[in-house]
Amino acid sequence: MQVAALRHRSESEDCFVLDRNRVRVRFHTAKNDVEKIIVHYVDNYMPPLSAKQVEMEKIGSGEVEDHWGATLEVPYHRIKYTFEVTGKDGDRKIFGDRGIYDYSKKSLLADGSYFRVPYLHEIDMDKTPDWVKHTVWYQIFPERFANGDKSNDPKGTKPWNPDDHPGREDFYGGDLQGVLDHLDYLQKLGVNGLYFCPIFKASSNHKYDAVDYFEIDPAFGDKDLFAKVVNEAHKRGMKVMLDAVFNHIGKDSMQWQDVVENGAKSRFADWFHINSFPVEPYRNPAKGEGQPPYETFAFEPTMPKLNTANPEVQDYLLEIATYWVKYFDVDAWRLDVANEVDHHFWKRFHQALVAIKPDFYIVGEIWHSARPWLNGDEFSGVMNYPFTLQVEDHFFHHAMSAKAMVEHLNDQMMLYRDSTNQAMLNTLDSHDTARIRTVANGDEDLALQAMAFIFTQTGSPCIYYGDEMGMEGGNDPDSRKPMNWSKEDSPIWKRVHALVEMRLKHAQTFGKGKVLLSVTEDGLIKVDRTGEEHIIAYFNTTDHDIRLAADNELLKQNYDGGKLAPKGFIVIKA
């Protein structure tokens, strides 16, 4: 047995409270190396001699590790536990808080060897909003969704043309009235969460360079109109998520312009990370221009970085964050460039929001492993790029085999607690990426197969506006074309609608049930979900038909006569 590969960390993603009477533990071993693991557990104030035991189940295999899990009953709200590990070579070890020992009765009963959870405090639990696990999101880039009011179109607004290739500075007149006019459409599609890219007053078409966070951009409408959008969405059972950047602010903001004008004497000078005065002209080190006078997002001079360690800046941003919840009843924040803001601020942010709405949803834009932000006191979840990009690597780019993808995904899920995985935002494309159909080289079946795979996973799936219409587009700004409204009720629209319908009808299992990912001997990707129901999905990413006997189908593509064709899938109720 590879003793060096044995791994567990208490009070982490390897040991977390499910409720007042249950703790979930995980253990990790070298791949195909361990035969059996038994958890011995008992109340902290009882002797190890009276410990109960439960055999762990293998919950997934990763690149180099096997992952094991067990749920422990904790009647007195505190627990101590240790692991008895038996290798395939017959070797037995005790893995405990103070190290690894050869198995013996003495080692097993050594009280100091037990890991401890001193008390199951509910206030310390990683709680994520339950409603998110029953939500399919629809991402709206407001400037390109629908033009409902031509009277507020910016100067130079271009004609609405879904076949255009937008430039970075182009405007097409999309607004909140356009969203309001199409809420019935979104309800018909079946989605129940609206994720808006920024709607606040800003200079650009994308609005990630905010000028005033307390105002709706005039080209989108006003606060009365936004309030109506939220109220009408809520009437239709839809949640509303706003998008903001608290890492930086726009160059045209009052605060930054005061710094430009008054330099070190500006009352806002400490609001930013300034290296030298005057702040203009900007020097870009990526172009060999030397030290920049101030910190920015990337090396973008129009987006000066805020000093979120400054209490004044914190109070200002928290006032913004709570304002739209208190007065407009929004349900969630999506936070752009979230990983570049300090943890101290995000902890204050979390406290301020859940004080207003205990089930508030907070999503960070983080493109890498996000464990430091996901311990229950900062974000509910993140945009799950490390997970979804590996799906793309297999389905679209063929950069990894089905087996490798499953291994990578299993490892990804082990980074976070179950409740965190359930609150991830899973999207295959967005305003920041090429559209799914373009990445699939125009192959509709392939795009929908990958989308269906995401819809069977733990985490909240998200559709980028227009994907249901089969829209295409390369990396931004090409992925931000005006919505093609001519394809409503088209064959691809109906297929996406059926996918949304299936996910929400079985949301209790897809959103909260156990997941086991594997590859069959024939090469099919198998997604096994156990919760309120038992649902199994198979995906054929090979280049040939595979025989598969399936009954009680919930949804299928390219399955006929007991054969699952390439780019096909079938979801069945077991």
Position 144 pLDDT exceeds 90: yes
Is the confidence at residue 303, as pLDDT, over 90? yes
Q: Please, where in the chain does CATH 3.20.20.80 lie?
A: 130-247+308-512
Q: Percent of the chain having pLDDT more than 90?
A: 99
**Pairwise CA distance, residues 120 & 123, whole Å:** 9
Residues of the chain with CATH 2.60.40.1180: 514-573
Give residue-wise pLDDT tens across range 38-53: 999 999 999 999 999 9
Helix axes 444-455, 385-395, angle to 10 degrees: 140
Q: Is 560 a catalytic residue?
A: no
Q: Among the options 336, 392, 418, 432, which is catalytic?
A: 336
5-21 per-position pLDDT tens digit: 999 999 999 999 999 89
pLDDT exceeds cutoff 90 at 124:
no
Q: What is the third-level CATH fold of 130-247+308-512?
A: TIM Barrel (3.20.20)
Give mean pLDDT, residues 21-44.
98
Query: Of 365, 407, 411, 472, which residue is the catalytic one?
Result: 365
Residue 459 has pLDDT above 90, yes or no: yes
Cβ–Cβ under 8 Å, residues 410 and 403: no
Q: Is the pLDDT of residue 568 over 90?
A: yes
Mean pLDDT to the nearest integer, 425-451? 97
Q: Give span(s): CATH 2.60.40.10, the chain.
A: 3-117
Output the CA–CA distances (angstroms, integers) from residue 401 to 50, 198, 429, in the order listed.
47, 37, 21
The DSSP annotation for 30-95 comes to ETT-EEEEEEEEE-TTS-GGG-EEEE-EEEEE-SSEEEEEEEEE-TTS-EEEEEEEEETTS-EEEE
Please enumerate in sequence order all residues whose Cβ is within 8 A of that of 73, keeping only pairs 6 or more positions apart, or say none.
21, 22, 52
pLDDT given at position 101:
96
Taking alpha carbons only, the member of 415, 493, 492 closest to residue 458 is 415
pLDDT digits (tens, 9 = 90+) for 170-222: 999 999 999 999 999 999 999 999 999 999 999 999 999 999 999 999 999 99
Give the pLDDT of residue 10: 95
* Three-class SS of 264-320: HHCCCHHHECECCCCCCCCCCHHHCCCCCCECECCCCCCCEEECCCCHHHHHHHHHH
Active site residue 522: no
Q: What is the rounded distance in angstroms from the CA atom of residue 304 to the CA atom of residue 297?
A: 7
Angle at 347 between CA 345 and CA 353, to 5 degrees: 100
Which numeric CATH code is attached to 3-117?
2.60.40.10
Q: Can you say whether residue 272 is alpha, beta or left, with left for phi > 0 and alpha for psi between -120 and 50 degrees?
A: beta
CATH code for the part of the protein at 514-573: 2.60.40.1180
Give the single-character DSSP code of 154.
P
Report the percent of the chain where pLDDT is more than 70. 100
pLDDT for 554: 98
- Give me the mean pLDDT over the 56-73 stretch: 98
Specify the pLDDT at position 122. 87
Instruction: Please state the rounded mean pLDDT for residues 142-166.
Output: 98
